[in-house]
Amino acid sequence: MSTGALHYAGAGVDISASDEAKARIAALVSSTFTEGVVGGFGGFGGMFRAPSGMRRPVLVSSADGVGTKIRVAIEAGRHGTIGHDLVNHCVNDILVQGATPLFFLDYVAFGAIDPAIAQEVVAGVVTGCQENGCALIGGETAEMPGIYETTDYDLAGFIVGSVEEDDILGPQRVVEGDALVGLASSGLHTNGYSLARKIVFERMELAVGDRFPGGDQSVADVLLAVHRSYLALLRPMFEKAHAMAHITGGGLPGNLRRALPPTLDAVVDTSSWTVPQLFMELERAGQVPRDEMFRVFNMGVGMVVIAPPENADLIVRAADAAGIGAWPIGEIRAGSGNVIVD
């Protein structure tokens, strides 16, 4: 039996590295502060003033991660965008209810803290917050030896936004005859990576630095493309829409269903847009059935707007002007709350 004084570092937790990481990110975090922030960096809890100038404000919150996309970032040694992915994903999740973001919190857990990598990860979160006008008011950086391998880390985010109660978007507004408008994704976004990684690294036998088939980008470039935020495009469109669906895990069938009342179906015409080459390569190399592709991946459609048919062309034109592809992809019909992908 060994004896002698024990220290936290001997158990795998380096407090000095944690302190250095916090010092590196302090200025980054403070750069996101908006007028609603109360207090500064480093408190036990982040504080934010309740929204003013609203009649009946409703707070909308969400929590999420970025799945095994993190494994690609780790293997590629590119940690600067994974936090941006996280923020944009969370922003889109509350956007579908007509909410705009107020503040964000992050949680990063390492096997062993590398202050430089921690700074890169949080810098990505900061970029996302700045893009979406969202204050990063707090978070946690943890070191968990024995749970994660030394070079591993995980990332999660928590967002709070607000919307007027009378303006909440959702199934309660959807009516028969509404149009479905699909907005282009910027790649895989943050879903389906366990299958995508298996196909790319095992079936296709590619490495992160290899060229991805069908283009000039590397595997890392393709798989780490930042999850697109639709906030800037859709915030001016809230009054033109009835509901929205963020196409994440579960694909079009799983997510459009969440925007439907029980008496209506969404009928999607898959011939109305061109599925990007990325998804075609994954389907071919993995011999993935087409219906499984639509259940796992976004297939090039990152957001669906459900709107009166007379507003569909307006939404498409606004998206085109913003450099985002958009297409009418179907309609709402009488039914029983199902998504029919033709």
In this predicted model, what pLDDT tens digit does every residue of 164-179 receive, in sequence order?
A: 999 999 999 999 999 9
Predicted confidence at residue 36, as pLDDT, reads: 87
pLDDT at 221: 98
Give the DSSP letter of residue 145. Answer: B
CATH 3.90.650.10 in the chain, residue ranges:
171-341
Cα 327 to Cα 127, 139, 177, 319: the distances in Å are 29, 38, 16, 9
pLDDT digits (tens, 9 = 90+) for 101-151: 999 999 999 999 999 999 999 999 999 999 999 999 998 899 999 999 999
CATH of 8-167, one of 3.30.1330.10, 3.40.50.970, 3.30.56.10, 3.90.550.10: 3.30.1330.10
Q: Which pLDDT belongs to residue 37?
A: 87
For CATH 3.30.1330.10, the residue range(s) in the chain are 8-167
Average of per-residue pLDDT across 302-308: 98
> In the predicted model, is pLDDT for residue 91 greater than 90?
yes
- Could you give the percent of the chain with pLDDT greater than 90? 80
Phi, psi values for residue 48, rounded to 5°: -145, 135
What pLDDT score does 10 carry?
67
- Give the CATH H-level superfamily of domain 171-341: PurM-like C-terminal domain (3.90.650.10)
Average pLDDT over every residue of 282-304 = 97
pLDDT at residue number 269: 97
**Whole-angstrom distance, CA of residue 159 vs CA of residue 105:** 7
pLDDT score of 24: 76
Higher pLDDT, 15 or 126: 126
pTM of the model: 0.92
Residue 342 identity (one-letter amino acid): D
* Beta bridge partners of residue 138, listed in sequence order: 105
Residues pairing with 60 in the sheet:
161
- pLDDT for position 5: 73
pLDDT tens column, 39-54: 877 677 888 888 888 9
| DSSP codes of every residue in 72-84 | HHHHHT--SSHHH
In one-letter notation, the amino acid at residue 299 is M
Predicted confidence at residue 307, as pLDDT, reads: 98
The arithmetic mean of pLDDT across residues 6-14, rounded, is 64
Residue 157's pLDDT is what? 97
Average pLDDT over the chain, rounded to an integer? 93
Confidence bin at 1 (pLDDT 50/70/90): low
164 burial (CB, 10 Å; 0-12 / 13-18 / 19+) is middle
Say what the pLDDT of residue 7 is. Answer: 57
